[in-house]
Structure 1
Amino acid sequence: MENPFQDETVLARWLAGELTPEELQTLQQREDYAGFVQIIEELKGLEAPEFSAEFVWQQLQERLAGEENSKPGSVRDVDEFPAGTETVEGQNPEPETPNPEPSLLHIISWKYISAAAAALALIIAALWWLTSNEYPVSETLATKAGQQKQVVLPDGSTATMNARSSLGYNAKKWPERRYVVLDGEAFFKAKKGRRFTIQTKQGQVQIAGTIFNVYARDAELEVKCTEGKVQVINPKGTERVLLKKGEQVSVAGGRMQKRQRLTFYPAWYKGESIFREAPLQKVLDEMSRQYGLVVMADSLGTRSFSGKFIHKNLNKALKMVCDPMRLKYSLSGDTLHIAPR
């Protein structure tokens, strides 16, 4: 990853409000800008550990240059469809540097130090604290086609994963940071306490204690708030939406669209998939996940589908989708062929 600190004055001038519009726009377009915004928000009440500024800067530069020190966590497949809940168990030395590189405080001009030195020290401390291990995932769980799995997290919060989804977290660091990495879809019931963060490729979800569903597949993120409040942040950190009970938001193509919803549990939680003017390909992709099929579709164009299909009977599910869409289908083993009639 390109080092965002090539110009060491950028952070200080950003904190001091002295970036040019062009510089600010460039910074906001970085994929890690959301992380900087999050750090600023969390600095209040953050007790920074003792550290050497020169040592921290050196470590930060190394990590941003891509030097990975953490070991990858284990990955487990979930082999059985569960009948119920399964519980998953879940001072920095001064470097001896005879000729140290110039520290950040020596590089930045005194003009910016007077405006941002205190805040800059805190942000470096926070960056060091938050990225020292880059939230390594010590436990990762994955569901296969047609499977759902409920996981009990270290604080008693639960996450029920939909088919072909993966969820990772760090049990050891959980008391300090309730942080989950999700690829796929899961229904969360978060206990009240510290901020609970769900990180996806498509954006970030933050809550304190509530019930909500997160769908994160391909380039789409959809969050539905069942109880409490949920904050959703787009990938660049430039836009956020606060959801209340009964609301949902979709993030796709950089746009966030908020609307009302009525049902308490997501449809998949009750064994069916419901769609509203969804691209037909998205419907077939979900059918593939629920039934473990390879779908071969011909000449479907940009057609959309409103309706549902069930998860326990493939023949009925196919009729529920194909009949109203005037599609013909054939099955050969695990391969489903679909084409217009």
Structure 2
Amino acid sequence: MKVMKKEEIIIKWLNHEPLTQEETYFLESLVEYQDYKKIVDKATVFKAPVFDQVKSYNRIKEKAHQKSFDWSVLYKIAAVIVVVVGCYFAFFFAQPQQYNTLAQQTKEIRLPDNSVVLMNAESALSYEKKNWDDKRKLQLQGEAFFDVEKGKKFTVLTKMGEIEVLGTEFNVHQRNGFLSVECYEGLVEVRFNNKKIQLEPQEGLTFANGKLIEYNTKEATSAWINGYSIFKSIPVKEVIEELERQYNIEITLKNIKFDNQQLFTGNITHKNLETALKSVTIPFGYTYQVSNNSVVISAKKL
């Protein structure tokens, strides 16, 4: 075996280069080997940037040859590193999980407990991943269908109110001052304006302009998942905006001014723009004209 200096063998070891049997025996026979090994073992816990092994070794050697090496200092430094890294990961995992959809876009989200959320177009959802099983709570702006696994209470927070369940299927639609909730399975509790209402399967409610409307539905799941929207006494303005979201178009009203008292009840398809426009305009005696991604709805014939 080529005779190597003690420093060369240690540097090879620090650099994870293979050692011969003689070199390994020589390394492990060193008095300071266990001290070196402790440092290397602790360092592998972290993903550190690439460093100069020769300089690292020289620093270790310099300390090791001091008459009295104070290992407590090294352990204190290591403890600080562990705390800093721990705080970083704690901060990282404490950040809310956020999801958004654009016009004409839907998205499926699987939550940590395997509950499933289907987000409709132009919606936003967020929740805290940390301790999710103990605190199943999320925030919603827009519309989403929920298929919730059984477990502790599950809460959906909106600007208009809260929806709470244990395990069920339901839909929440909240935008621009109105709230709509439908239950398809299990039991749903809706809380808003100091009211508390429980919905059973095939029951729903709409709250808009200070008015509460409760109704029954024959739907077994959210209509929008199947390509159409059902509106129960919804302000016409919101129906127009839903058309814009589903078809990614811009609608201009000509000689029309909707107020919050004008409500719409009916269905609109998400698969044919002409059919959808007729569903909204014919009941009011309006006409429309389509040009690329723009639509003009008018009270007068164009």
Short-chain TM bin: 0.5 to 0.7
| Higher helix content, 1 or 2 | 2
Deviation of 1:252 (Å): 2.8
273, 291, 295: which one pairs with 1:314? 273
For the 8 Å contact 1:137–1:168, the answer to whether it is kept is no
Please give the TM-score of this superposition, normalised by the length of structure 2.
0.63
Q: 1:190 — aligned with what?
A: 148
Q: Do the aligned partners of residues 256 and 318 (structure 1) sit closer, same or farther apart at CA in structure 2, a change above 3 Å counting?
A: closer
Q: Which runs of 5+ in 2 are unaligned?
A: 1-90
> What is the alpha-carbon distance in structure 1 between the residues aligned to residue 263 and residue 177 of structure 2?
18
Q: 2:110 — aligned with what?
A: 152
Kindly name which structure, 1 or 2, has the bigger radius of gyration based on alpha carbons: 2
Q: Which has the higher contact order (CA 8 A, sep 6+)?
A: 1
Q: Residue type matched to 2:189 in 1?
A: Q
Q: Which runs of 5+ in 1 are unaligned?
A: 1-132
SS at match of 1:290: helix
> What is the alpha-carbon distance in structure 1 between the residues aligned to residue 291 and residue 206 of structure 2?
35
SS at match of 1:194: coil
Q: Do the aligned partners of residues 140 and 227 (structure 1) sit closer, same or farther apart at CA in structure 2, a change above 3 Å counting?
A: same
Q: 1:266 — aligned with what?
A: 222
SS at match of 2:238: helix
> What is the alpha-carbon distance in structure 1 between the residues aligned to residue 106 and residue 244 of structure 2?
14
Please give the TM-score of this superposition, normalised by the length of structure 1.
0.56
Deviation of 1:137 (Å): 5.4
232, 245, 252: which one pairs with 1:289? 245
1:1-341 alignment runs, 5 A limit? 138-234=96-192, 236=193, 238-298=194-254, 299-302=256-259, 303-341=262-300
> What is the alpha-carbon distance in structure 2 between the residues aligned to residue 217 and residue 180 of structure 1?
16
Q: Do the aligned partners of residues 254 and 321 (structure 1) sit closer, same or farther apart at CA in structure 2, a change above 3 Å counting?
A: closer
For the 8 Å contact 2:206–2:233, the answer to whether it is kept is no
Q: Do the aligned partners of residues 251 and 229 (structure 1) sit closer, same or farther apart at CA in structure 2, a change above 3 Å counting?
A: same
Deviation of 1:206 (Å): 0.7
> What is the alpha-carbon distance in structure 2 between the residues aligned to residue 259 and residue 309 of structure 1?
19
Q: Do the aligned partners of residues 190 and 172 (structure 1) sit closer, same or farther apart at CA in structure 2, a change above 3 Å counting?
A: same
Q: Do the aligned partners of residues 152 and 301 (structure 1) sit closer, same or farther apart at CA in structure 2, a change above 3 Å counting?
A: closer
> What is the alpha-carbon distance in structure 2 between the residues aligned to residue 321 and residue 315 of structure 1?
10
> What is the alpha-carbon distance in structure 1 between the residues aligned to residue 211 and residue 95 of structure 2?
29
> What is the alpha-carbon distance in structure 1 between the residues aligned to residue 290 and residue 151 of structure 2?
49
For the 8 Å contact 2:208–2:234, the answer to whether it is kept is no
SS at match of 2:240: helix
Kindly report the root-mean-square deviation, in angstroms, between the aligned alpha carbons of the 2 structures: 2.2
When structure 1 is superposed on structure 2, of 317-326 and 217-226 the one drifting more is 317-326
> What is the alpha-carbon distance in structure 1 between the residues aligned to residue 213 and residue 164 of structure 2?
17
> What is the alpha-carbon distance in structure 2 between the residues aligned to residue 190 and residue 171 of structure 1?
16
Q: Do the aligned partners of residues 297 and 243 (structure 1) sit closer, same or farther apart at CA in structure 2, a change above 3 Å counting?
A: same
For the 8 Å contact 1:296–1:337, the answer to whether it is kept is yes
